[in-house]
Amino acid sequence: MSSSGSSVAVPNLGISMGPDNPAVPFIGGLLIEVFVACILYGITTLQSFMYFQKYPNDAASLKILVGTVWALESVHTAFCMQFLYAYLVEGFADYTYFLKINWGIGVTVITSAGIALCVQGYYVWRVWCVSSKSLVWTAIIGVFALARVAFGIGSTILSYVYPEWITFRDTTSSLVTISGGLGSAALVDLLVAVTLSYYLRKGRNSWHKESNSKINAILLYAVNTGAITGTASLLCVILFATQKQSLVFLGLVEIQAKLYANSFLGSLNARSHIRNKNNPTAQYPSIEFSSSGNGFRAVAPQVPVPKVEVFQQTIVHDDRGLQGDSEYDMRHLKGGELV
């Protein structure tokens, strides 16, 4: 055995420990982005809990959809942590390990596509209701939503066909699947926001004044959420094409899945807030998306029937003046005995 004064030689595994450490630009941004994604997953879990607490009377299909989105988010987050652990712990100080595509990344890509399908499918259904069952708009948006899933499946397959990042990012097919999938997602977000804005603005003037203010809130929410997720999609494509020595694009893809889930759950949980936006105690028509009938309509408020209670009170006066009665015996009144 070596003496206490001897030193142990640490083999150089190809990574520098100085300021030029290649792990910093390659995976540093990804680490921070996965942390952000985990925080957003916590918000998703909170919103899911709030939804089931606030809306127990929603349709069973909508509850199943919310549960499915949360389950996919849980799987997605678990595999984000898995591949990050593989890169930073199992591949510690081994730069060549960073060049490999971990198998968990493919799982996160396909689950992201599943989350997008659930959320955008819900938005397509809303377009169907708002547009009075317009087949043209619904079909166009639905095709691009399915294209997003198809490109996601293609990217997942390519991540297993090309096991290294260098070959994966240099192939035209991977650029097509990544840009096609994210571009389709951005286009769906844009079309949904434009369609909802058009039809809601078209019908709001015929409603109650207070309903119009609620429509404005819905319009603002639809445009903002579409802009956020659409911008994230475009940034992912740009970073994938330009930042060849970094996985920062991958972290943004993981964050985008969380944005979809939170925008979906936020739109569901915001219903009671929008309904009571101007006066919590006033009874105004609410906005209802109906799969039957013509699009959407203002529904008359359901005013509860007041509870009426009837009480009966019987009072008996005894003026017979019986002897031995109390001090109220009428014979003792001023004027002597009664005749």
Is 223 contained in some domain?
yes
Contacts of residues 91-96 at CB distance under 8 Å and 24 or more positions apart, as own/partner, are 93/13, 93/15, 94/13, 94/14, 94/15, 95/13, 95/14, 95/15, 95/22, 95/23, 96/14
In the chain, % of residues over pLDDT 90:
40
Dihedral pair phi/psi, residue 179, rounded to 5° = -70, -35
Stretch among 49-58, 191-200, 296-305 having the lowest mean pLDDT: 296-305
Is 137 contained in some domain?
yes
pLDDT at 327: 47
**Rounded Cα–Cα distance for residues 95 and 314 (Å):** 95
Dihedral pair phi/psi, residue 282, rounded to 5° = -80, 155
Q: Which domain holds residue 103?
A: 23-297
pTM of the model: 0.74
What percent helix, strand, coil does the chain show, rounded to 5?
65, 5, 30
Average pLDDT, the chain: 78
Q: How many domains does the chain have?
A: 1
User: Is residue 21 very low, low, confident or very high in pLDDT (cuts 50, 70, 90)?
Assistant: low
> How is 222-276 classified by DSSP, letter by letter?
HHHHHHHHHHHHHHHHHHHHH-TT--HHHHHHHHHHHHHHHHHHHHHHTHHHHHT
User: Is residue 278 very low, low, confident or very high in pLDDT (cuts 50, 70, 90)?
Assistant: low
Contact call for residues 70 and 287 (beta carbons, < 8 A): no
Residue 336: pLDDT over 50: no
Q: How many C-beta atoms lie closer than 10 Å to residue 331's C-beta? A: 12
User: Is residue 259 very low, low, confident or very high in pLDDT (cuts 50, 70, 90)?
Assistant: very high
At 73, is the secondary structure helix, strand, or coil?
helix
Both tokens of 295, joined, read 């699009």
Stretch among 31-40, 51-60, 87-96 having the lowest mean pLDDT: 87-96
Burial code of 227-258, b = ≥16 C-beta within 10 A, e = fewer?
A: ebbbebbebbbebbeeeeebbbbbbbbbbbbb
Give every CB contact of residue 179 below 8 A, 6+ residues apart in sequence.
237, 240, 241
User: Is residue 204 very low, low, confident or very high in pLDDT (cuts 50, 70, 90)?
Assistant: low
Greatest mean pLDDT among 51-55, 218-222, 226-230: 51-55
**Rounded Cα–Cα distance for residues 282 and 204 (Å):** 19
Location of structure tokens 């109390």: 326
Is 2 contained in some domain?
no
Is 330 contained in some domain?
no
Residue 34: pLDDT over 80: yes
At 158, is the secondary structure helix, strand, or coil?
helix
Stretch among 56-60, 117-121, 131-135, 282-286 having the lowest mean pLDDT: 282-286
Mean pLDDT to the nearest integer, 19-23: 65
Residue 160's identity, in one-letter code, is: Y
Is 324 contained in some domain?
no
CA dihedral 129, 133, 135, 141 (to 10 degrees): -10
CATH number at residue 243: 1.20.1070
HSE (side-chain half, CA atoms, 13 Å) at 325? 13
Is 131 contained in some domain?
yes
Is 228 contained in some domain?
yes
User: Is residue 220 very low, low, confident or very high in pLDDT (cuts 50, 70, 90)?
Assistant: confident
Is 339 contained in some domain?
no
For residues 215 and 181, the model is more confident at 181
Taking only the tens place, the pLDDT of each residue in 156-165 is 999 999 989 9
**Rounded Cα–Cα distance for residues 337 and 329 (Å):** 10
The closest of 91, 111, 89 to 99, measured between CA atoms, is: 91
Taking only the tens place, the pLDDT of each residue in 280-323 is 554 444 444 444 444 444 444 444 545 556 556 565 555 554 44
Location of structure tokens 């009426």: 308
Dihedral pair phi/psi, residue 182, rounded to 5° = -70, -35
